[in-house]
């Protein structure tokens, strides 16, 4: 073991030479993890794009039956939560403990709001029998811009299958994000974060922003296929 | 080869530093984790090998007389799933990679030691789940679990097998993530990118594939599970779905996956060939870049597995062309290794025998891949034993030979003991002979039309003689694999103690004791020499480079 | 990842953060409004362009990709997107040309 000639932050792990190396590694590691998440969701987006092109009319009909206002509201909620995350990190950088904790709490409240709105949407779909499976039904729904033509229920079921899997996977990531931020909040409360060391906040923030970006794409693709007819 | 000075008293190393099951199960030392993986993947190799034995026994006779077709389907499925996901994909990266990557770059450990341990636990959990799945009925779809058979028709345990693979896939992703961050961030001073051993370049390229490809098969498994549970129609033609979508998503990972399996082996071969010809690798930068090219190009060719599946013929043309291009970087490597041998001072120790085996067998496997990339030929030989022979030449003749060569080469470093060289050379020879006897007849069988995944070939009884050769070869091959298991274990107790650098090899891992201490180097190395500086080492102008404090 | 205190910047990052936040909300509103117009085949393109702009804003400013000292992180993002688009493009090529007569 190399002799330590100067004292170092207890958060410095033994196999790293400097705090900067540790921080850069953590950040890099999180970015690579986010790359895997992009590919994970990406497979779903690929399937979605193929079927949307193939069954455009049926998908448009299915899309008009989900609530774009709630989807839009959720988009705004997540955007606000991303703001509170960067403000929390700024607060850590500038030793504003109360603001940091407040912003973390606000972030989590926004996250819970998102999940709540999602729950309302899912409940609506359940009542309308749009959840894929044995009780699915989508008869006699007109294709937008094509009066007299009705959507193929099988194709509509594919839309809803992808809708639930994509938004469900996204919601699962939100839940995990809330778990991460619960820990961050506890660590912030305990005074673990200083201007010199707040790496967990940064990488937790990266994860949260990624979840926001996924929703930024999900919203127009799922909710706004054809709203103009 | 130099024997060096053997220490008279037992030094502290990573093996004897702590004792007890807990010190192993909760370790964060990359070397101990490598050994945990070594034991686990060897176990799964036996399981996969057991299914291979059953396949070969059934195929001794044309009729499906050992087992019913349904059971035979489970044999080849389980053979494939276990060998691909629980042996080949982790094999070199999780064992030799985990052990050597930090040492080769002069680091104390990987960037994320706890995540390294987590990746082993995920592997074990996935493995236990797969074992449970197999003993409670197994899967019969082929390791490729094509839809709609896997989603709508089979009654076997798809979801459980899928979940096992999903979890093991996470293990693979975390290993890749760890390696990339480590290689970027934790190189010792002076260890520039162009001084890195090619083993590191190979693992870097492998990690890129693990990171970008594995998540796609993960989501595919999720879709298959959802489809099975809810009859969603995503892959079911009766409900408007497309079975080929599954194949696109599946092969987008599974083709690059074969490069995960071969690239690390190529890295091993570079290390061995340079050491045992006492020469720098010819065209170092070309070999390094070819690893990255293989990783990139490997993502462009997946639909060559789908030429006859119903895909667009125009897309087939594109993928055929791209598949030809992916052979080029592999060929570059083979040329450069051969050029390295030229005028080298060749030593025929066991690792080198495996490297020679790799060169020949990988070349045959790779060239037959080009046969398959040609649309016209593929129409005839797809889903025949030609394909089976092709990928076994690469996976077994290539990847597995490289793995065995690497295990022999680094065994003194890992265990502090020398393996018995005579037995090792004999085993290498037995493996080579057994391998060719097993798989060369399969090229002929496939060309003559014997389909793969058939238990019963009694409509063409003339295939029997070649199948008998193949099974005989498999028995010989099995002996060849058992021998190293026996003598490696024997050497841990009775083998001659190894010096720090018994091969007089270049590379930072050889500059520290055998076995290494927990933190690898007494002081952080500072690198001032190029990779593979065998001319300096052998001329004695420069002593074997010492670690500079 | 910068750990400079804000006093070293001539402009506080707060201004940037709030500006980006406003732009993101505006973009959301724009996306919704644009979907109500009949732009034919360009509806999808417009939606994706706005979404990509928003995603870039989040990545560059909230995730601090813009200020990253090394090209490495940008390389990670670009290569990931490259392979994702590759998957979609080549798969779409199959579907797009499958039923040519």
> How remote is the C-alpha of A17 from its chain's centroid?
34
Question: How high is the pLDDT of residue A17?
Answer: 86
Query: Which regions of chain A are under pLDDT 70?
Result: 1-10
Task: Name which of A146, A202, A207, A227 to mutate to probe chain C: the one with the most chain C Cβ atoms within 10 A of its Cβ.
Answer: A227
Question: How high is the pLDDT of residue C2?
Answer: 43
C-alpha distances in Å from residue B410, one per residue of B95, B186, B271, B432, B493: 11, 22, 10, 21, 17
Chain length of chain B: 549
Domain assignment present for residue B296? The answer is yes
* The total number of structural domains that make up chain B: 1
pLDDT in tens, B180-195: 999 999 999 999 999 9
Alpha carbons A35 and A12: distance in angstroms, whole number? 26
Domain assignment present for residue B544? The answer is no
Report the b/e string of A22-49 with b at 16+ CB within 10 A.
bbbbbbbbbbbbbbbbbbbbbbbbbbbb
Domain assignment present for residue B10? The answer is no
Which one is predicted more confidently, B212 or B549? B212
Domain assignment present for residue B511? The answer is yes
Which residues, numbered 20 to 59 in chain C, qualify as contacts with chain A under a Cβ-Cβ cut-off of 8 Å?
Answer: 21, 24-25, 28, 31-32, 35-39, 43, 47-48, 50-51, 54-55, 58-59
Paired sense of beta strands A146-150 and A142-143, if any? antiparallel
Least confident of B132-146, B488-502, C60-74: C60-74
Rounded to 5°, angle at Cα B202 from B13 and B412: 30
Nearest to A21 among B112, B185, B219 (CB): B185
CA distance C100 to chain B (A): 9
Alpha carbons B274 and B513: distance in angstroms, whole number? 22
Pairs across A and C, CB distance < 8 A:
125
Residue B167, token pair as written in the block: 């979890």
pLDDT in tens, B479-519: 999 999 999 999 999 999 999 999 999 999 999 998 999 99
Question: How high is the pLDDT of residue C71?
Answer: 86
Question: How high is the pLDDT of residue A9?
Answer: 65
Question: How high is the pLDDT of residue B5?
Answer: 55
What mean pLDDT do residues B301-316 have?
Answer: 95
Residue C99 pLDDT greater than 90, yes or no: no
Taken in order of first residue, the domains within chain A and their CATH numbers are 38-223 (1.20.120.80)
The number of beta carbons lying within 10 Å of the beta carbon of residue B335 is 15
ipTM for the assembly: 0.93
Query: A145: which residues sit within 8 A by CB, 6+ positions away?
Result: A60, A226, A229
Residue B547 pLDDT greater than 80, yes or no: no
pLDDT in tens, A159-210: 999 999 999 999 999 999 999 999 999 999 999 999 999 999 999 999 999 9
Q: Which residues of B touch C91 (CB under 8 A)?
A: 245, 248, 252
Q: What is the CATH number of the domain that holds B186?
A: 1.20.210.10
C-alpha distances in Å from residue B62, one per residue of B6, B51, B293, B445, B489: 58, 18, 43, 13, 39
What mean pLDDT do residues B240-269 have?
Answer: 97
CA distance C62 to chain A (A): 6
Is residue B62 within 8 A of residue B461, CB to CB? The reply is yes
Contact state of C90 with B212 under an 8 Å Cβ cutoff: no
Contact state of A165 with B213 under an 8 Å Cβ cutoff: no
Give the predicted TM-score (pTM) of the model: 0.94
Rounded to 5°, angle at Cα C12 from C8 and C18: 155
Residue entry with tokens 């083993």 = B199
Chains that touch B (3 or more CB pairs under 8 A): A, C
Residue B346 pLDDT greater than 70, yes or no: yes
Q: Average pLDDT over chain C, rounded to whole?
A: 86
Rounded to 5°, angle at Cα B104 from B99 and B106: 105
Task: Name which of A3, A13, A36 to mutate to probe chain B: the one with the most chain B Cβ atoms within 10 A of its Cβ.
Answer: A36
Domain assignment present for residue B242? The answer is yes
Question: How high is the pLDDT of residue B4?
Answer: 53
Cis peptide before B515 (omega within 30 of 0): yes
Per DSSP, the three-state class of B120 is helix
pLDDT in tens, C27-48: 999 999 999 988 888 888 999 9
Alpha carbons B419 and A94: distance in angstroms, whole number? 60
Domain assignment present for residue B545? The answer is no
Task: Name which of B170, B185, B220, B245 to mutate to probe chain A: the one with the most chain A Cβ atoms within 10 A of its Cβ.
Answer: B185
Domain span at B490: 27-539
Is residue B244 within 8 A of residue B148, CB to CB? The reply is no
Indicate the burial class of B435 (C-beta count within 10 angstroms; 0-12, 13-18, 19 or more): buried
C-alpha distances in Å from residue B265, one per residue of A214, B22, B133, B202, B355: 37, 32, 30, 8, 9
Residue B539 pLDDT greater than 90, yes or no: no
Question: How high is the pLDDT of residue B419?
Answer: 96
Question: How high is the pLDDT of residue B507?
Answer: 92
Task: Name which of B29, B31, B111 to mutate to probe chain A: the one with the most chain A Cβ atoms within 10 A of its Cβ.
Answer: B111
pLDDT band at B9 (very low <50, low <70, confident <90, very high): low
Indicate the burial class of A14 (C-beta count within 10 angstroms; 0-12, 13-18, 19 or more): exposed
Which residues, numbered 314 to 373 in chain B, qualify as contacts with chain A under a Cβ-Cβ cut-off of 8 Å?
Answer: none
Residue C79, token pair as written in the block: 């290569």
Q: Average pLDDT over chain B, rounded to whole?
A: 94
What mean pLDDT do residues B246-268 have?
Answer: 97
Alpha carbons C66 and C62: distance in angstroms, whole number? 9
Q: Does A46 touch chain C (CB under 8 A)?
A: yes
Q: Which residues of C touch B184 (CB under 8 A)?
A: 72
Question: How high is the pLDDT of residue C8?
Answer: 45
Phi-psi region of B499 (alpha: psi -120 to 50; beta: other; left: phi over 0): beta
Q: What is the enclosing helix (H) or strand (E) of A182?
A: helix A153-189
Residue C4 pLDDT greater than 50, yes or no: no
Continuous H helices in B455-515: 464-494
Q: Which residue of B has its CA nearest to C95?
A: B312
Question: How high is the pLDDT of residue B537?
Answer: 87
Q: Which residue of A has its CA nearest to C19?
A: A83
Alpha carbons B223 and B151: distance in angstroms, whole number? 9
Q: Which residue of A has its CA nearest to C12?
A: A90
Is residue B385 within 8 A of residue B445, CB to CB? The reply is yes
Residue B443 pLDDT greater than 60, yes or no: yes
Is residue B493 within 8 A of residue B156, CB to CB? The reply is no
Q: Does A40 touch chain C (CB under 8 A)?
A: no
């Amino acid at each position: 073991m190399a002799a330590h000639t100067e004292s170092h932050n207890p958060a410095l792990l033994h196999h790293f030479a400097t705090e900067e190396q540790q921080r850069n590694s953590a950040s890099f590691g999180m970015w690579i993890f986010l790359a895997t998440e992009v590919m994970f969701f990406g497979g779903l987006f690929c399937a979605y794009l193929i079927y949307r092109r193939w069954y455009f009319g049926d998908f448009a009909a299915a899309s008009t039956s989900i609530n774009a206002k709630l989807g839009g509201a959720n988009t705004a909620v997540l955007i606000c939560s991303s703001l509170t995350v960067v403000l929390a990190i700024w607060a850590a950088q500038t030793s504003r403990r109360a603001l940091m904790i407040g912003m973390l709490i606000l972030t989590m409240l926004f996250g819970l709001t998102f999940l709540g709105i999602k729950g309302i949407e899912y409940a609506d779909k359940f009542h309308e029998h749009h959840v894929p499976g044995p009780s699915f039904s989508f008869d006699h729904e007109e294709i937008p811009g094509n009066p007299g033509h009705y959507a193929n229920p099988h194709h509509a079921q594919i839309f809803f299958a992808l809708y639930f899997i994509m938004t469900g996977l996204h919601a699962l990531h939100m839940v995990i994000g809330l778990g991460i931020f619960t820990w961050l909040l506890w660590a912030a409360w305990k005074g673990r974060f200083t201007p010199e060391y707040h790496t967990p906040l940064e990488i937790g923030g990266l994860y949260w922003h990624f979840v926001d970006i996924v929703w930024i794409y999900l919203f127009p693709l799922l909710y706004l296929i054809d709203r103009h007819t | 080869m130099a024997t060096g000075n053997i220490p008279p008293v037992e030094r502290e190393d990573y093996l004897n530093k702590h004792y007890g099951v807990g010190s192993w199960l909760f370790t964060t030392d990359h070397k101990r984790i490598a050994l945990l993986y070594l034991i686990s993947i060897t176990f799964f190799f036996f399981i996969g090998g057991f299914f291979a034995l059953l396949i070969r026994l059934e195929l001794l006779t044309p009729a499906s007389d050992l087992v019913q077709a349904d059971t035979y389907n489970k044999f080849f499925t389980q053979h494939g799933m276990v060998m691909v996901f629980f042996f080949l994909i982790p094999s070199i990266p999780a064992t030799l990679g985990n052990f050597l990557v930090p040492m080769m770059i002069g680091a104390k450990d990987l960037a994320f030691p706890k995540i390294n341990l987590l990746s082993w636990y995920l592997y074990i959990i996935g493995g236990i789940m797969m074992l449970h799945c197999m003993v409670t009925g197994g899967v019969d779809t082929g390791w490729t679990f094509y839809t709609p058979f896997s989603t709508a028709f089979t009654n076997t345990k798809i979801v459980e097998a899928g979940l096992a693979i999903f979890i093991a896939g996470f293990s693979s992703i975390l290993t890749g993530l760890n390696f990339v961050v480590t290689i970027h961030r934790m190189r010792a001073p002076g260890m520039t990118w162009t001084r890195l051993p090619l083993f590191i370049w190979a693992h870097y390229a492998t990690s890129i594939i693990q990171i970008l490809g594995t998540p796609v098969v993960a989501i595919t498994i999720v879709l298959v599970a959802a489809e099975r549970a809810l009859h969603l129609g995503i892959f079911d033609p009766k409900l408007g779905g497309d079975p080929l979508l599954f194949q696109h998503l599946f092969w987008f990972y599974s083709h690059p996956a074969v490069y995960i399996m071969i690239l690390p082996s190529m890295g091993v071969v570079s290390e061995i060939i340079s050491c045992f010809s006492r020469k720098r690798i010819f065209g170092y930068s070309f070999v390094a870049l070819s690893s990255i090219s293989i990783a990139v190009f490997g993502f462009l060719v997946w639909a060559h597995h789908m030429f006859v599946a119903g895909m667009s013929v125009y897309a087939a043309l594109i993928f055929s062309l791209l598949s030809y291009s992916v052979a080029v970087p592999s060929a570059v490597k083979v040329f450069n290794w051969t050029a390295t041998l030229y005028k080298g001072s060749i030593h025929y120790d066991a690792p080198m025998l495996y490297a020679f085996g790799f060169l020949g067998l990988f070349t045959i496997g790779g060239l037959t891949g080009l046969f398959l990339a040609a649309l016209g030929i593929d129409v005839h030989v797809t889903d025949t034993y030609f394909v089976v022979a092709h990928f076994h030449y690469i996976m077994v003749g290539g990847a597995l030979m490289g793995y065995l060569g690497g295990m022999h080469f680094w065994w003194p470093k890992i265990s502090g003991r020398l393996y018995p060289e005579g037995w090792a050379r004999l085993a290498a020879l037995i493996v080579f002979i057994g391998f060719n006897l097993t798989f060369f007849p399969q090229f002929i069988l496939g060309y003559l039309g014997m389909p793969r995944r058939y238990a019963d070939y009694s409509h063409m009884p003339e295939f029997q003689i070649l199948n008998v050769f193949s099974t005989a070869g498999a028995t010989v091959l099995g002996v060849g694999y058992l021998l190293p298991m026996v003598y490696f274990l024997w050497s841990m107790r009775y083998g001659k103690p190894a010096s720090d650098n018994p091969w007089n090899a270049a590379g930072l891992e050889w500059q520290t004791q055998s076995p290494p201490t927990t933190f690898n180097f007494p002081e952080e190395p500072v690198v001032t020499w190029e990779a593979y500086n065998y001319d300096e080492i052998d001329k004695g102008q420069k002593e074997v480079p010492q670690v500079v404090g | 990842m910068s750990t400079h205190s804000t006093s070293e910047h001539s402009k506080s990052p707060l201004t940037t953060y709030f500006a980006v936040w406003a732009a993101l909300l505006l973009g959301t509103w724009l996306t919704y409004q644009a979907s109500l117009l009949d732009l034919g085949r360009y509806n999808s393109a417009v939606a994706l362009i706005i979404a990509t702009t928003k995603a870039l804003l989040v990545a560059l400013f909230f995730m601090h990709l813009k200020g990253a000292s090394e090209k490495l992180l940008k390389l990670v993002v670009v290569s990931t997107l490259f392979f994702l688009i590759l998957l979609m493009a080549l798969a779409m090529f199959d579907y797009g040309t499958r039923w040519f007569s």
